[in-house]
């Protein structure tokens, strides 16, 4: 809306801005794999709903809680009309970060109130089964998620909570799981930088995200973002200009370059099929602080997948023991391998 104007009935609501690029790309993705689940996380409410009237920072004004809940409903319905089902939403991406462009600050108490009194009932009244996932920010504040889940009225509408790892440690997810084991956990964002090192990023992300997130009860391990061009675009004004996509697509030649995030994700995504279950894995005589971080899964087809990384300082040989059988393998420093049987 133009500055100074409001639209509490959402008479001007539209998703036309998404029709040029976003919707066509999502349709291409779903044509390739219709089972892909999509989570939608807003950067900000419309400016006229905020107490500072700006894209950056500010908070949602309580008098617009109903309008914003209706905004979510309209968005989900409009995307569905395009053939795109949104599996889950988070009320706010990085709700404790006032500096992104755009951004919105939403405290845990505000999010709990918005969910239990407005968003949850609005989705329910519209017959929508879209999951509500809370928090969607760094692991240094697990109490944000647990405080919402401690509110029984809010928890009734909540599927689980989501985390990033730009601050905190990944075991914070286990803290939330232990407090509310009946709710899901999701790891939803971590980027690799264009000025980072392939070896260093591979090592850190495998240890903390691909191994660490599922080992701490997360149902997902997502890298951000999927793809960009050679100038790290497109992005919003003020958006990240150094975030490296999983692939780089040259804007002139359409040539594809596979970056470190492609290989980080590939160690799991090529082998751990949707519906797989994490199973126990441990280093004999050691602990999860071992120099061999690892996580194991059983796939729906009954196969086992083990991902192991050498986080030590020397080449390490080790045995993989299962069902009375043993195989020996070796990994150089910083290397990662996926084993399937």
Along the 341 residues of the chain, how does pLDDT read in single tens digits? Answer: 998 999 999 999 999 999 999 999 999 999 999 999 999 999 999 999 999 999 999 999 999 999 999 999 999 999 999 999 999 999 999 999 999 999 999 999 999 999 999 999 999 999 999 999 999 999 999 999 999 999 999 999 999 999 999 999 999 999 999 999 999 999 999 999 999 999 999 999 999 999 999 999 999 999 999 999 999 998 888 889 999 999 999 999 999 999 999 999 999 999 999 999 999 998 876 555 579 999 999 999 999 999 999 999 999 999 999 999 999 999 999 999 999 99
Angstrom distance (rounded) from CA 137 to CA 98: 12
Cis peptide before 234 (omega within 30 of 0): yes
Query: Residue 337: which of 323, 318, 324, 321 has the closest Cα?
Result: 318
Q: Where are the beta strands (DSSP E) in the chain?
A: 39-40, 88-89, 131-138, 158-164, 184-189, 192-193, 218-221, 227-228, 243-244, 247-249, 256-258, 277-279, 294-298, 304-309, 316-322, 325-331, 336-340
State the residue for tokens 């596979």.
Answer: 258
Structure token pair of residue 143: 């109490």
Does 77 fall in a domain?
yes
Which residues are part of the catalytic machinery? 94, 189
DSSP 227-294: EE-TTS----TTS-SSEEPSEEE-TTT--EEE-HHHHHHHHHHTTS-TT-EEE----TT--TTSSS-E
Structure token pair of residue 139: 């692991």
Does 51 fall in a domain?
yes
Does 301 fall in a domain?
no
Does 327 fall in a domain?
no
Angstrom distance (rounded) from CA 106 to CA 96: 7
β-bridge mates for residue 138, sequence order: 164
Structure token pair of residue 213: 């997130």
β-bridge mates for residue 322, sequence order: 325
Q: How many domains does the chain have?
A: 1
Domain CATH for 88: 3.20.20.80
Phi, psi of 168 (to 5 degrees): 85, -175
285 contacts 319 by C-beta, under 8 angstroms = no
Residue 165 vs residues 15, 139, 205: alpha-carbon distances, Å: 31, 6, 10
Does 174 fall in a domain?
yes
Does 3 fall in a domain?
no
Angstrom distance (rounded) from CA 239 to CA 303: 41
Q: Residue 90 belongs to what domain range?
A: 16-274
Dihedral (CA of 19, 21, 24, 30) sign: negative
Does 129 fall in a domain?
yes
Does 184 fall in a domain?
yes
Angstrom distance (rounded) from CA 289 to CA 169: 13
Cis peptide before 201 (omega within 30 of 0): no
């Amino acid at each position: 809306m133009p500055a100074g104007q409001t639209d509490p009935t959402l008479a001007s609501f539209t998703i036309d801005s998404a029709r040029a690029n976003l919707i066509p790309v999502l349709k291409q993705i779903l044509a390739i794999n219709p089972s892909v689940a999509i989570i939608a996380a807003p950067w900000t409410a419309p400016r006229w709903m905020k107490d500072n009237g700006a894209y950056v920072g500010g908070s949602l004004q309580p008098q617009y809680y109903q309008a914003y809940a209706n905004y979510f409903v309209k968005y989900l319905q409009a995307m569905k009309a395009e053939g795109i089902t949104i599996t889950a939403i988070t009320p706010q991406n990085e709700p404790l970060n006032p500096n992104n462009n755009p951004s919105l600050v939403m405290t845990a108490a505000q999010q709990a109130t918005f969910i239990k009194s407005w968003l949850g009932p609005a989705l329910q009244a519209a017959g929508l089964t879209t999951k509500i996932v809370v928090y969607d920010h760094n692991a240094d504040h697990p109490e944000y998620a647990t405080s919402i889940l401690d509110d029984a009225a809010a928890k009734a509408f909540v599927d689980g909570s989501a985390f990033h790892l730009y601050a905190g440690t990944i075991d914070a997810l286990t803290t939330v799981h232990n407090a509310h084991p009946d709710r899901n956990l999701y790891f939803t964002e971590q980027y690799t930088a264009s000025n980072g090192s392939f070896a260093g990023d591979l090592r850190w992300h495998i240890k903390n995200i691909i191994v660490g997130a599922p080992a701490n009860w997360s149902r997902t391990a997502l890298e951000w973002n999927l793809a960009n061009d050679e100038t790290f675009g497109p992005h919003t004004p003020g958006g990240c200009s150094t975030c490296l996509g999983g692939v780089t697509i040259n804007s002139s030649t359409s040539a594809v370059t596979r970056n470190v995030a492609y290989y980080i994700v590939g160690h799991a995504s090529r082998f751990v099929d949707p519906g797989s279950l994490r199973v126990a894995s441990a280093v004999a005589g050691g602990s999860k602080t071992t120099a061999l971080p690892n996580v194991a899964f059983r796939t729906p087809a009954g196969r086992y997948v083990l991902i192991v990384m050498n986080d030590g300082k020397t080449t390490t040989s080790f045995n993989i023991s299962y069902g009375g059988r043993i195989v020996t393998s070796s990994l150089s420093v910083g290397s990662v391998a996926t084993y399937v049987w």
